[in-house]
Amino acid sequence: MQLDLFAALQDDDTPTPTPPPAPALAPATFRRSAATPHTEPRTTVSPAAQTTHTAAPRALPTGKVNDPAQYAFNLGEAVANTWHKNHGGTRIEIPIGIVASLALIGQKDKKGPDLKAQILAQNDQELWAMYREIWATNWRHRPDLVERARILHEWANEEKQTRHELYVVRAVTKTVLDKGLLDLTGHADPYLRARADVLSPTLTMMRSTGATKGLGEYHTPPPVAEAMAIATLSTLSADSIMDGKKLAPGQSFLDPAAGTGGMMRAAAQNIREQGLDPAAFRWAMVDIDPIAAACAAVNAMVWALGPRVTVACADSLANPRAVEDAHEEARAAFEHRDRILGQLQMVAAVRRAQQFLEKTVGVAA
């Protein structure tokens, strides 16, 4: 069965993003104590799909999602319950990775076959392979962010799975879809996809209270994050106006204790509401927790923050060059991607030449 999982990635004529330039981090910095990092745990879109949004009022979808934040919270709670009830074990990166993977896909044709039904119609091995394919497809476009999110998907590359692992992955997948993840993330418009951070509640729920406190990790309520983002952007705009300028593309945003990126989500939404495109700005997120940083990388794709995103996994107090280091890692990831794709193209060209030669020789004979 062929699933329309990668609607936003199927246009091969879309230019592939280049590594983001090293961001200038002075403007609009969101600051919190690195000792108590913020934690807020769709569809990856091609650069052509990252269109500028007008400030006109948006027609929000009607239906189940009246409170996106509460909807996301309920989803995270259900995922945790399913995982623990089925004795999923300590590898919490698997259920979080399932939510992240499904957030990166979308329905190509809303009038076509139901995506949820297509996914669940696969057998266990096909379902596992689907997760592997989701990340391989996104790697073509954003190898840097997929590499940063490695902890959330390396399990999908394991060649052998136990019957219990297959069972639990299916159970969590069904819960995620039954609880309506696609109602939150299955939209073509990134403004609608970014109405909630679906990964934050899942990460919070999957961790025990002790583990969360030990990491100094606390969930910032979305309304608070939105208020802080609006206040920061308002201050930036006021300062810019005093200098004869306005909030403009090319400016940079840094969160040195980003968690899963909730502050950046709020800022991006506010930027869209001002009639600008977040993809035209620079974004840098740092978090000491590998899973939180991985979630931030996924969210950067889901929310269409654009090609100028850098996500670092580091202690921003101990390493003030965390963003610069992450930028160099991103450049290396793009270079590695280009080498691999170049080798594949060469192999494909050789095979076509061999087929042509064999056909020609066959005709001559």
Q: Give mean pLDDT in consecutive 10-residue pieces for the chain, a chain of 365 residues.
A: 39 47 47 35 35 48 77 96 96 98 85 90 96 95 97 95 97 97 93 96 81 49 58 52 64 94 94 94 97 98 96 95 96 95 84 74 55
For residue 213, the model assigns a pLDDT of: 45
Q: Residue 15 belongs to what domain range?
A: 11-52+66-338
Q: Give the burial string for 42-68 (b: 16+ CB within 10 Å, else e).
A: bbbbbbebbeebeeeeeeeeeeebeeb
Residue 344 counted as domain residue = no
Query: Is the four-CA dihedral 88, 93, 94, 96 of positive or negative sign?
Result: positive
Residue 91 counted as domain residue = yes
Domain count, the chain: 1
Residue 325 counted as domain residue = yes
Residue 3 counted as domain residue = no
Residue 357 counted as domain residue = no
**Is 252 within 8 Å of 280 (Cβ atoms)?**
no
For residue 358, the model assigns a pLDDT of: 72
**DSSP tag of 218:** B
Residue 349 counted as domain residue = no
CA distances from 246 to 230, 234, 243, 249 (A): 15, 10, 8, 10
Q: Which amino acid is it at 216?
A: G
For residue 346, the model assigns a pLDDT of: 82
Residue 354 counted as domain residue = no
> CA 237, CA 171: separation in Å to the nearest integer?
47
For residue 326, the model assigns a pLDDT of: 97
For residue 18, the model assigns a pLDDT of: 54
Residue 111 counted as domain residue = yes
